[in-house]
C-alpha cells in the first residue's frame, strides 16, 4: 500500500494536528509519513496578518506542495483555510471539533490582569470584540506560533493575551486563563481540516472515516457566512454554529475595528439548507448596515 505523505506547518501545534491525523489513518491500516513545510505566515512574524495582504497566508505553501504532488494530503487548522480553496483541491475531512472559543491567558507575573489594561493579539476579530467590552484598554499586535506568542506575553507588560482554547488544550498547556465564551470565535475555530487533490478519488474514500458530519455541517455554515459577508479574512467577523438534534443554532457578527459597532445575527435553523441559512444571515447583517461598515473597515486598513 502506498505511504501517504501528510503535509503540515512546522509549529508544535501543527505537528500535533498532523500526528493526530496520522494516528487515525494508521489505525485504518494506511502507512503514512509527515512532511513539515514552512509557510509565509510563520516566516513573517512582525506584520499583522491583515497587513500582509495575502489570503491563505498559512496554507499557500501546503497548497503548492499538494498541487505539485510533493504531498498527498495537508492538515490545517480550519480557521486558517481560505473559504475558497485553490483550484484542484478539496476538503476531504473535518475532524471532531474541540473547544471553539477564545481564552485570555494571564501574564504569569501579575495576579490581577485588570491592573494592567493592555493585552496582546494579532486578530482583528479578537481585538474588536475585546475593545467592545473593554473600550479603554490598549491592544498590541502579537504574532507567531503558540510558543512564540507565549514567550512574548511573558516578556511583555500586558495583563494577558488572547489565544484559541483548542490550541492550548491540544498541547496540554496548563496556563492561568479566563474563558471568553462571550467572544464570537473565528469561523471553523477548533476544527482540524484535511485537504487533498480533487482528482484523488481513492484517497478521498480513504479519508471519509475521519470526517465528523456534525462538525463539517457547522463549520461549513460558518465559512459560507464568512465568504458571503466578506470573502476573505481581513474584517472582524465571528461565527459559531452548533447542532441540536435536527436544528442548527447559528450566531454571526461583524464588528467595527474599534468595537463600537456590532452587527449581530442569531437564529435557530431547521434542516440542512446551509447555503440558504448563510444567505439569510448575511442579508440580516447587511440590513443593519453591513455593507457600509465593511467599506469603512477596508478604507481604514488600506
Catalytic residue ranges: 80
Distance, CA of 268 to CA of 225 (rounded, Å): 15
Q: What grid cell was written down for 173?
A: 498547556
Question: Could you tell me if 243 and 213 are in contact, meaning their C-beta atoms sit under 8 angstroms apart?
Answer: no
CA dist 96 to 22, 172, 217, Å? 15, 18, 11
Q: What grid cell was written down for 244?
A: 441540536
Question: Could you tell me if 116 and 93 are in contact, meaning their C-beta atoms sit under 8 angstroms apart?
Answer: no
Radius of gyration of the chain (CA): 19
Q: Residue-wise over 81-102: b if at least 16 C-beta within 10 A, else e?
A: bbbebbeebebbbbbebbbbbb
Q: Quick one: how many helices (H) and strands (E) in the chain?
A: 11, 13
Maximum C-alpha span of the chain: 60
Question: Could you tell me if 66 and 7 are in contact, meaning their C-beta atoms sit under 8 angstroms apart?
Answer: yes
Question: Could you tell me if 144 and 45 are in contact, meaning their C-beta atoms sit under 8 angstroms apart?
Answer: yes
* Phi, psi values for residue 56, rounded to 5°: 75, 35
Question: Could you tell me if 27 and 12 are in contact, meaning their C-beta atoms sit under 8 angstroms apart?
Answer: no
Amino acid at each position: 500500500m502506498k505511504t501517504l505523505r501528510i503535509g503540515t506547518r512546522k509549529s508544535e501545534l501543527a505537528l500535533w494536528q498532523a500526528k493526530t491525523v496520522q494516528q487515525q489513518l494508521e489505525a485504518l491500516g494506511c502507512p503514512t509519513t509527515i512532511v513539515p513545510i514552512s509557510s509565509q505566515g510563520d516566516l513573517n512574524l512582525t506584520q499583522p496578518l491583515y497587513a500582509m495582504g495575502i489570503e491563505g497566508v498559512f496554507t499557500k505553501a501546503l497548497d503548492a506542495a499538494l498541487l505539485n504532488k510533493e504531498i498527498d494530503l495537508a492538515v490545517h487548522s480550519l480557521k486558517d483555510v481560505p473559504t475558497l480553496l485553490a483550484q484542484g483541491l478539496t476538503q476531504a475531512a473535518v475532524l471532531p471539533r474541540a473547544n471553539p472559543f477564545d481564552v485570555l491567558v494571564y501574564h504569569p507575573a501579575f495576579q490581577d490582569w485588570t491592573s494592567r489594561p493592555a493585552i496582546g493579539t494579532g486578530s482583528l476579530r479578537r481585538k474588536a470584540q475585546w475593545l467592545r467590552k473593554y473600550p479603554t484598554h490598549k491592544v498590541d499586535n502579537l504574532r507567531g506560533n503558540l510558543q512564540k506568542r507565549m514567550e512574548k506575553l511573558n516578556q511583555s507588560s500586558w495583563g494577558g493575551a488572547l489565544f484559541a482554547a483548542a490550541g492550548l488544550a491540544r498541547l496540554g498547556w496548563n496556563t492561568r486563563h479566563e474563558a471568553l465564551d462571550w467572544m464570537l470565535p473565528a469561523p471553523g475555530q477548533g476544527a482540524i481540516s484535511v485537504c487533498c487533490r480533487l482528482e484523488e478519488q481513492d484517497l478521498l474514500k480513504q479519508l471519509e472515516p475521519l470526517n465528523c458530519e456534525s462538525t463539517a455541517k457547522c463549520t461549513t455554515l460558518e465559512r459560507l457566512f464568512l465568504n458571503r459577508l466578506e470573502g476573505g479574512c481581513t474584517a472582524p467577523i465571528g461565527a459559531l454554529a452548533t447542532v441540536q438534534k435536527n436544528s442548527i443554532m447559528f450566531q454571526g457578527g461583524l464588528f467595527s475595528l474599534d468595537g463600537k459597532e456590532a452587527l449581530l445575527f442569531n437564529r435557530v435553523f431547521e434542516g440542512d439548507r446551509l447555503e440558504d441559512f448563510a444567505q439569510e444571515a448575511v442579508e440580516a447583517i447587511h440590513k443593519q448596515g453591513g455593507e457600509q461598515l465593511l467599506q469603512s473597515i477596508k478604507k481604514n486598513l488600506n
